[in-house]
Amino acid sequence: MSFAPLISALAIPKEALVEQRVPKKLLLEQGAPTAADKRQIQDGIEEITWVAALKPINIGVPAFRDEVREYLEIAVLTAALRASAKPPRLIELIHRAIPYPLVLVTEHGDAVTLSLAHKRWSQGEAGKVVIEDVRQIRLNVAEEDFFGSLAISRLPRQNLYTLYQGWIDREVALEAARITGVFEIPHLEDHASGMRDGLTEHARLTRDITLLRAQASKEKQINRRVNLNIEIKTLEAKLACVTHSLSTGLANESH
């Protein structure tokens, strides 16, 4: 998969297109707090391109300002990573280096990843912007419902914050759909928050179950193995409840 399907799905107005290469120097100066991070940027990135700058003047969506953050524009970037790159950390560094909320599409071998992260004012340094949680998801072009939901014209348009949140909600909905088999976008903030919490809990339980199964397979003492299997069954029941809540939450939202 290449960048093209995702960029095409965004349906960016031509007035917003930039199509300029971003020098690594910018990332090194703004997004690399350590020597190891600097090496990652220098050695891990093949090319990074500023695809578009989404502003009120070119997409017709107002800017957003409050005491926590200020969204004057949204940047859309693509980054081709080298085989030696470590994508999760590099993706975080790129988000950190760009002062605007960023739609970042990275290509690493055959994998194309979409990442999004809200930004807010730093509480410790006046005028400095920091990133919040970076959501990353590997894309599959066959997931047509997700790609069909990404066009700027289909997102919430109250302001640039709600528009950007619309993309995050769609990414979260895709994560949930890979568990439940149904792609549904949350339209209420309470449900969107619940879906994010549910995904976090699902990942935690899945990880814990995998670790316990590995322990049980190596356990020599029968009593201890029985206890581990009981613990596994308990966590599996909790996992089933979380999965059920992810699949039924949107139905409840509509009532």
What pLDDT is attached to residue 67? Answer: 92
60 sits in the region (left: phi over 0; alpha: psi -120 to 50; else beta) called left
What pLDDT is attached to residue 31? Answer: 65
What pLDDT is attached to residue 251? Answer: 43
Q: How is 58-116 classified by DSSP, letter by letter?
A: HH----EE-SS-EES-EEEEEEEEPTT--HHHHHHHHHHH-SS-EEEEEEETTEEEEEE
- Residue 45's SS3 state is strand
240 sits in the region (left: phi over 0; alpha: psi -120 to 50; else beta) called alpha
Amino acid at 85: A
| Contact call for residues 164 and 71 (beta carbons, < 8 A) | yes
| Contact call for residues 219 and 229 (beta carbons, < 8 A) | no
pLDDT 10s digit of each residue in the chain, 255 long? 688 999 999 999 999 999 999 998 888 877 667 888 888 889 999 999 999 999 999 999 999 999 999 999 999 999 999 998 999 999 999 999 998 999 999 999 999 999 999 999 988 777 788 898 899 999 998 999 999 999 999 999 999 999 999 999 999 999 999 999 989 888 777 778 888 888 889 989 999 999 999 999 998 898 998 999 999 999 999 999 888 888 765 544 444
Token pair, residue 249, equals 């939450």
User: Given 1.10.3120, 3.30.43, 1.10.1330, 1.20.58, which CATH number is that of 189-253?
Assistant: 1.20.58
What pLDDT is attached to residue 1? Answer: 65
What pLDDT is attached to residue 247? Answer: 74
> What are the residue ranges spanned by the domains of the chain?
4-180, 189-253
Token pair, residue 242, equals 């979380």
